[in-house]
Amino acid sequence: MMEVPRVGHSVSSPTSPCEDMMKNLSLDAIQLCEREGNKSLDSGIAEMEELPVPQNIKISNITCDSFKICWDMDSKSKERITHYFIDLNKKENKNANKFKHKDVPTKLVAKAVPLPMTVRGHWFLSPRTEYTVAVQTASKQGDGDYAVSEWSEIIEFCTGDYSTVHLTQLLEKAEVIAGRMLRFSVFYRNQHKEYFDHVREAQNNKMLLSVKDNSGSHGSPISGKLEGIFFSSNTEFNTGKPPQDSPYGRYRFQLPAEELFSPKTNLYFADFYCMYTAYHYVILVIAPKGSSGDEFCKQRLPALDIANNRFMTCSEDEDGRLVFHHAQDLILEVIYTDPVDLSLGTVAEISGHQLMSQSTVNAKKDPSCKTCNISVGR
């Protein structure tokens, strides 16, 4: 159990002042203190002879919600050290909305355990986020006050993506609401007429790969990294055909499902999210076996059995023909990781509307939704 510094003299933080408030949270021998405003958290710290200042700080073993930290120290007065104070802050974003609430900085108070020390906590670490960190040593006095060293240099680091463990948690949450399976027979991709004209004239009739945008979960390992082509597979339950409306353009490329999805491909689960609405989205990746996209996904995403999963399946009927099904209660976003030739299908104008409000381009996930969030940041 960690102890809380008692009120006394003030020592400022290297990056920002902190409020006279600390939460008594215990995790890996670390306490968490949230601070804001101009009040001093360190008002429980006394002045006395100098303690060694941490040098050569090193950050390692970084995940989406943890990291290891170690440093060098002068042996002088080292035996007097009882605690470490770690000042952790999200790196300032100069382009951030100035009207948005500022992120609350965090101070960690840890007993002087052997280094390296693991810092872990989803309530103050988010995936794919840049942080600054500084450290000082402290010695707790008999009256409850602390003597402290000067702050160390400030180090920057960035947290990692969701691991397959975290993605499996998302997968299991998505399975709960997937609903029954409906049959489908085509994949389709909507775009503007100019897009398809460009494919024919400048790309030798082939739709080429582009990098996945930042829509969905903030910790998704495919955002900004995986290259592919976006397709849809959802159908209207009453017709069994693709809807005539689309948020992405009035022209639709449509091709038989077996051209993209077959026993020659692997299927991966990539994300589960919503955008402050009742609709939930699942991102799946189809990758031809042995392709570069397949190798990328094998290292980062949970693989699905193409014939037996709750989202999208490919199986054989009694006559040996491939049949396809998709989950009724999820909107599936399918990424195919190889170029696709327009000759494999047809391009035609849809009769419905272009529903821009339903676009998921760079859409941000609702961090408050209990259905599609897990406790490792958003």
- Domain range list for the chain: 55-159, 164-349
Q: In what order do the strands lie in the sheet with 312-316?
A: 181-184, 322-327, 312-316
Compute the C-alpha angle 81/23/153, nearest 5°.
45
Where on the phi/psi map is residue 144: left (φ > 0), alpha (ψ -120 to 50), or beta? Answer: left
Compute the C-alpha angle 269/275/279, nearest 5°.
70
For 95-136, the DSSP string reads TS-TTSPPPPPEEEEEE-PPSSEEEE-TTT--TT-EEEEEEE
Q: For 237-292, how does the pLDDT look when each residue is reduced to its tens digit (9 = 90+)? A: 778 788 887 888 889 999 999 999 999 999 999 999 998 888 999 999 999 999 99
Higher pLDDT, 360 or 225: 225
Q: How confident is the model at residue 42 (pLDDT cuts 50, 70, 90)?
A: very low
Please state which of the four CATH numbers 3.30.420.480, 2.60.40.10, 3.40.50.2020, 3.30.465.10 is assigned to the domain occupying 55-159: 2.60.40.10
Q: For 180-215, how does the pLDDT look when each residue is reduced to its tens digit (9 = 90+)? A: 999 999 999 999 999 999 999 999 999 999 999 999
Residue whose C-alpha is closest to residue 6's, from 18, 16, 20: 20
Q: For 85-94, how does the pLDDT look when each residue is reduced to its tens digit (9 = 90+)? A: 999 999 875 5
Q: For 113-163, how does the pLDDT look when each residue is reduced to its tens digit (9 = 90+)? A: 999 999 988 677 889 999 999 999 999 988 888 899 999 999 999 999 999
Backbone angles phi, psi at 34, to 5 degrees: -100, 140
